[in-house]
Amino acid sequence: MTETPPAQPNDPQSGRPGQNGQPHGHGRPGPGQPGPGYGQQPGYQAQPVQPMRPEDEKLWATLIHLGGIIFAFVPALVGYLVLKDRGPFIREHTRSALNFQITMAIVYVISAILAVIVIGGVLALVAGVLVIIFSIIAAVAANKGQWYKYPLTFEFVK
C-alpha cells in the first residue's frame, strides 16, 4: 500500500481549504483572505475627486465657520472629512475650524468642572463669546477668499 505524502500548506495542488484563495470551510475566507464583496465590483472604477470651484470653496468655508457658532465642532468635522480633498483652501479652513472647535470643547469641559465655583460659569461665557467673535471673523475672511488662522488654538488636526 502506497501512502500519499501530506499536502504542504503552500502547495497549489493540495486542494486544502483556506489555501491559495480557496474557501476556508463553509464558504468563509481563510486567514488573510479578503471576504466576499471585498474590492471593486466588476466594471466599477473609482471616480477621481473633483476639485471645487473657488466660489464653492469660499461658500463652504464660510458656512462651516458660521455653523460652528450653533453646532459646535460638528460642521467642521463633517466638512473636514467630506471636503478636505476638494481643494487646499477648503482643507485649510475646515482644519482650522475643527482645531478651534475642539479647543473650545475642551474649554467647555473645563468650565463645567469648574462650575462648582463661580469661575466655571465665567469661563464658559468668555468661551462662548470668543466662539461667536472668532467664527464671524473667520467666516468673513473665508468669504473674501483669505486664509485665516484662529488665535488661542491647539493644533490637533494637522
What pLDDT does residue 99 have?
Answer: 98
CA distance 148 to 77: 17
Mean pLDDT of 69-98: 97
- What are 6-59's pLDDT values in tens digits? 555 554 554 454 455 444 455 555 566 665 555 556 666 667 889 999 999 999
Question: CA-to-CA distance for 118 and 127, rounded, in angstroms?
Answer: 15
- CA 107 centroid distance within chain: 22
Nine-digit cell at 4? Answer: 500519499
Residue 154 pLDDT exceeds 80: yes
Q: What was the pLDDT predicted at 8?
A: 53
Residues 57-67: pLDDT tens digits? Answer: 999 999 999 99
DSSP for 80-130, please give it.
HHHHTTS-HHHHHHHHHHHHHHHHHHHHHHHHHHGGGSTHHHHHHHHHHHH
Does the pLDDT value for residue 5 go beyond 70? no
Residue 42 pLDDT: 65
The stretch 138-148 carries a mean pLDDT of 97
pLDDT of residue 33: 63
81 within 8 A of 45, measured Cβ to Cβ? no
Per residue in 84-129, pLDDT (tens digit) is 999 999 999 999 999 999 999 999 999 999 998 889 999 999 999 9
The CA-atom distances, in angstroms, between 46 and each of 31, 35, 36, 40, 42 are 27, 20, 19, 8, 12
What's the whole-number mean pLDDT along residues 62-89?
A: 97
Q: Check residue 86 and give its pLDDT.
A: 95
Confidence (pLDDT) at 40: 58
